[in-house]
């Protein structure tokens, strides 16, 4: 398995352009199952999860062409309504096909999904929503069996504003004639991008006065062309990498307002930022990094996907910072690896206390999940000496051309395959 070899201690400098959002691209790709007409999607990042999703679409009966970050999806025979575990186990987002398949076939069989080991992330919110729409859901031998003699519009109140459940139920409701109302929904920018694409396909989705999503279902949707929104988590990660290395970096092609809480917290920590409509410049900073407490929350709160990279930054603060993880359990697995690099971190349940140290030291570490892996990369960029990060396949799920982009900013990072003994 590939690993990163990082020689740290260099300030990042220059400009980095942000890719399309993974968390928007995946459900948008899945939404093409709602029509047999061609769909063209631009700014689709070349990531492991994207490639897995394209394989899923091909297995289900779509023809896929992917070149230069543009995906063209057309019909290629009769669609299937089941998926094999070999595909589903690779990522949790594979369960999102349930909504479109249920809407089109009134039945779907999907194995329970896999993905990062950062908590249970149950699909029960999805299933309870499908039941409200008239479906029966059973779990047998690890497979979710969903069947509906007839689907009917309904009012659905999510027990938690789950991004995946919001998107899955939206896609299903688009093909159920009548008015479906979703309440307590996720408000992430990625959800907005999915809604934008669905409306381009002919759906009728609007946001109500109280933030609820109101869907006027149709009998059919058509093809559409769409450009995926910028990845706010990649944006935040590069901004944090610039801050942690005390660099001077301009992040372009982003939507700064999608990271407004992060930017406010960084300014509170002492960093100077220049913010425009589509860029953020981090100025080189030689002063003390002030400790700032963050608590993860659904958007527009502090993003759980930036909690791990933020923790790396706080390992270098002057004082003690607290990180409250209120979204996923078991999402501090990067903390022991940071401790191996000299960090002073203690965790208790959902709270991590980070007491800053003067510097991190290079070490051999391993990624346990996507964002925790990025936290270790940032730590390696800060630490003098050679850091080796194993299991980079986790990181490949969410960061397009990571080593290429970091190298362009002056980092010394290379991908190494120990089996082939080659870089």
Between residues 95 and 92, the one the model is more confident about: 95
Phi, psi of 313 (to 5 degrees): -60, -45
For residue 121, name the pLDDT band (cuts at 50, 70, 90).
low
Query: How large a percentage of the chain has pLDDT more than 70?
Result: 98
| Structure confidence at residue 162 (pLDDT) | 93
pLDDT at 119 > cutoff 50: no
> Is the bond preceding residue 273 a cis peptide, omega within 30 degrees?
no
Q: What is the mean pLDDT of the chain?
A: 94
Single out the catalytic residue among 116, 172, 243, 254. Answer: 116
* Position 145 pLDDT exceeds 70: yes
User: Is 116 noted as a catalytic residue in this protein?
Assistant: yes
Torsion of CA 206, 209, 213, 219, to 10 degrees: -40
How would residue 419 be classed by pLDDT, with cut points 50, 70 and 90?
confident
- Residue 333 is predicted with a pLDDT of 93
Mean pLDDT of 255-275: 98
Q: Give the residue among 300, 309, 298 at the shortest CA–CA distance from 354.
A: 309
Question: Average pLDDT for residues 97-115, to the nearest whole number?
Answer: 88
Place 77 in a pLDDT band, splitting at 50, 70 and 90.
confident
For residues 337-349, average pLDDT: 97
pTM equals 0.95
Mean pLDDT for 275-293 is: 98
Band (pLDDT 50/70/90 cuts) for residue 113 is confident
User: What is the percentage of the chain residues whose pLDDT exceeds 90?
Assistant: 87
410: region left, alpha or beta (phi > 0 left; psi from -120 to 50 alpha): left
| pLDDT at res. 123 | 85
Q: Among the residues of 201-259, which ranges form H helices?
A: 232-244
pLDDT of 114 > 70? The answer is: no
| 92 — pLDDT class (breaks 50, 70, 90) | confident
**Confidence (pLDDT) at 143:** 87
For the chain, the first-to-last Cα distance in angstroms comes to 12
pLDDT band at 263 (very low <50, low <70, confident <90, very high): very high
pLDDT reading at 233 higher than 90: yes
Give, for 66, the enclosing helix (H) or strand (E).
Answer: strand 62-67
pLDDT score at 122: 67
Q: Regarding predicted confidence, which is higher, 327 or 274?
A: 274
pLDDT of 211 strictly over 60: yes
- Read out DSSP for 302-349? B-GGGHHHHHHHHTTSSSEEEEE--S-TT--TTHHHHHHTT-EEEEET
- Please give the helix or strand (H or E) that residue 67 lies within, else none: strand 62-67
Residue 150 CA neighbour count, 13 Å, CB half: 4
Chain segment 384-404, per-residue pLDDT in tens = 999 999 999 999 999 999 999
Check whether 118 has a pLDDT greater than 50: no
């Amino acid at each position: 398995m590939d690993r990163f070899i990082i020689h740290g201690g260099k300030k990042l400098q220059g400009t980095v352009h942000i890719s399309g959002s993974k968390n928007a691209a995946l459900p948008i790709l899945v939404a093409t199952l709602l029509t047999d007409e061609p769909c063209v999607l631009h700014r689709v990042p070349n990531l492991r999860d994207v490639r897995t999703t394209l394989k899923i679409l091909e297995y289900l009966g779509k023809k896929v062409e992917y070149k230069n970050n543009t995906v063209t999806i057309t019909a290629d025979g009769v669609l299937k309504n089941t998926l094999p575990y070999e595909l589903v186990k690779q990522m949790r987002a594979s369960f999102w096909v349930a909504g479109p398949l249920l809407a089109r076939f009134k039945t779907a069989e999907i194995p329970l999904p896999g993905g990062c080991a950062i908590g249970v992330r149950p699909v029960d919110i999805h299933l309870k929503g499908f039941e409200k729409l008239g479906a029966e859901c059973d779990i047998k031998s690890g497979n979710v069996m969903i069947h509906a003699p007839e689907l009917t519009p309904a009012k659905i109140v999510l027990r938690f504003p789950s991004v995946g459940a919001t998107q899955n139920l939206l896609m299903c409701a688009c093909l159920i004639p009548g008015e479906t109302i979703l309440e307590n929904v996720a408000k992430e920018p990625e959800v907005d991008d999915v809604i934008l694409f669905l409306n381009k396909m002919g759906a009728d989705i609007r946001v109500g006065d109280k933030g609820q999503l109101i869907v006027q279902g149709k009998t059919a949707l058509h093809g559409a062309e769409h450009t995926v929104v910028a990845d706010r988590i990649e944006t935040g990660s590069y901004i944090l990498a610039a801050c942690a290395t005390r660099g001077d970096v301009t992040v372009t092609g982003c939507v700064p307002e999608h990271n407004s809480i992060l930017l406010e917290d960084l300014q509170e920590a002492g960093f100077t930022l220049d913010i425009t409509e589509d860029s953020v410049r981090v100025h080189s900073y030689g002063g003390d990094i002030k400790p700032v407490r963050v608590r993860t929350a659904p958007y527009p709160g502090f993003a759980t996907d930036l909690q791990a990279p933020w923790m790396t930054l706080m390992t270098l603060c002057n004082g003690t910072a607290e990180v409250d993880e209120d979204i996923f359990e078991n999402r501090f697995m990067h903390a022991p690896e940071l401790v191996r690099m000299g960090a002073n971190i203690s965790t208790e349940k959902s709270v991590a206390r980070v007491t800053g140290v003067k510097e991190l030291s290079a070490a051999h570490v391993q990624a346990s999940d996507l964002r925790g892996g990025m936290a270790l990369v940032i730590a390696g960029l800060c630490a003098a000496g050679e850091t080796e990060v194993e299991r980079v396949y986790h990181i490949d799920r969410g960061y397009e051309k990571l080593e290429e982009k970091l190298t362009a900013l002056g980092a010394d990072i290379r991908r190494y395959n120990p089996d082939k003994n080659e870089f």
